[in-house]
Amino acid sequence: MSGRLEGKVCVITGGAGSIGQATARLFVAEGARVMLVDIDEASLKALSSEFGASVVGFSVTDVSRSDEIREMFERTVARFGRVDVIFSNAGNSGVICPLAEFPEDEFDRVLAVHVKGAFLCCKYGIASMNDGGSVIITSSVVGVRGDPGAYAYITAKHAQVGLMRSVSKEAATRGIRVNTIHPGPIANDFQHRVEKSLSTVMNCDAGEFFDQVIPLKRHGKPQEVAQSVLYLASSQSSFVTGSLLMVDGGMSA
Ligand code: NAD
């Protein structure tokens, strides 16, 4: 039986991270060739022994830099011949603090990765992409709801939805689909770091708090996010574009 991404070339940003790695493993198992993109060179190197060089490429690229993104897409096409799927997933978390104390440079730093990074992936990636491809942007459950404190992160995750909706209409003329995925709290280091600062602000265990308010009563797994990304990347979602897929255990319901 052939895989759901047989013959497809997929670019994954934040590819050295938890959700990026889980998605790369699933994509490769489904027949894809993958370009893993991240600023974390050491983690990319550590991953290189896991995958064969004919199947996975590695690119140390800052998604907020247009020269680096442009060059990364050129190298992907030179190496694998095409681009069919872009998973724009790189992210940083930023601080949590009252509005009056929120540092402006921190706001810029977080928006640069999530918003400008996703914009540059769309701008240069779609230009080098085959017609009929799929773009998936990782937003978050906080891309559809607000809470005090994480001003940069929550603003960035909402902005990605506006970008997705607008780009989906232009890209549709070439049969390219563009969607956002919205994970709730995932059991990984990224979320543990966020919960550590939140616990201080909330004066309770933020991890336990989330398990209470998530209707499925637990954190998600990176592999569960990857399965939903696979759905949006593959032809199983061939009539799905401009949409938000919640992968949050019901948290936003
Ligand atoms: P992670 O920290 O394991 O992965 C994020 C990766 O992005 C890291 O490898 C990091 O080096 C990379 N990165 C950061 N800045 C970059 C830049 N400028 N250029 C290229 N790469 C860069 O965390 P994760 O949980 O795998 O996060 C993946 C995405 O999922 C992020 O966009 C995050 O906001 C989103 N998300 C995570 C959760 C969660 O609970 N973990 C929930 C909702 C959404």
Cβ-based neighbour number of residue 152 at 10 Å: 25
What spacing in Å lies between the alpha carbon of 158 and ligand 1's midpoint? 16
Domain assignment of residue 101, yes or no: yes
Domain assignment of residue 156, yes or no: yes
Domain assignment of residue 102, yes or no: yes
Which residue lies with its CA nearest to atom 4 of ligand 1? 17
CA 47 – CA 60 distance, rounded (Å): 13
Which residue lies with its CA nearest to atom 6 of ligand 1? 14
pLDDT at 114: 98
Which residue lies with its CA nearest to atom 18 of ligand 1? 62
Domain assignment of residue 39, yes or no: yes
CA 140 – CA 154 distance, rounded (Å): 8
Count of structural domains within the chain: 1
The DSSP code sequence of 66-122 is HHHHHHHHHHHHHHHS---EEEE----------GGG--HHHHHHHHIIIIIHHHHHH
Identify the domain containing residue 94 by its residue range: 9-185+221-247
Sequence-ordered strand ranges (E) for the chain: 9-13, 33-38, 56-60, 85-88, 134-138, 177-183, 244-247
Q: Which atom of ligand 1 is nearest to the CA of 114?
A: 32
**Residue 95: how many CA atoms within 13 Å on its side-chain side?**
12
CA 89 – CA 15 distance, rounded (Å): 8
Indicate which residue of 124, 151, 153, 231 is catalytic.
153
Strands ordered across the beta sheet of 56-60: 56-60, 33-38, 9-13, 85-88, 134-138, 177-183, 244-247
pLDDT at 52: 87
CATH number assigned to the domain comprising residue 78: 3.40.50.720
Instruction: Establish whether residue 133 lines the binding site of ligand 1, counting it when its CB lies within 6 angstroms of any ligand atom.
Output: no
pLDDT at 193: 94
CA 114 – CA 137 distance, rounded (Å): 9
Q: Which atom of ligand 1 is nearest to the CA of 219?
A: 40
CA 154 – CA 147 distance, rounded (Å): 8
Give the N- to C-terminal CA distance of the chain in Å, as an integer: 37
Handedness of CA 68, 71, 73, 78 (dihedral sign): negative
Domain assignment of residue 206, yes or no: no
Q: Which atom of ligand 1 is nearest to the CA of 142?
A: 43
Q: Give the residue, out of 21, 41, 62, 92, with the most ligand 1 atoms within 8 A of its beta carbon, to mutate for a pocket test.
A: 92
Instruction: Establish whether residue 92 lines the binding site of ligand 1, counting it when its CB lies within 6 angstroms of any ligand atom.
Output: yes
What spacing in Å lies between the alpha carbon of 177 and ligand 1's midpoint? 22
pLDDT at 149: 94
Taking the chain (253 residues) in runs of 10, the rounded mean pLDDT of each run is: 94 98 98 98 94 94 98 98 98 94 98 98 97 98 96 98 98 98 98 93 94 98 98 98 98 97
CA 11 – CA 172 distance, rounded (Å): 20
CB 241 within 8 A of CB 179: yes
pLDDT at 37: 98
Q: Which atom of ligand 1 is nearest to the CA of 183?
A: 43
Query: Active-site residue 124, yes or no?
Result: no
The DSSP H or E segment spanning 195 is helix 189-202
Instruction: Establish whether residue 20 lines the binding site of ligand 1, counting it when its CB lies within 6 angstroms of any ligand atom.
Output: yes
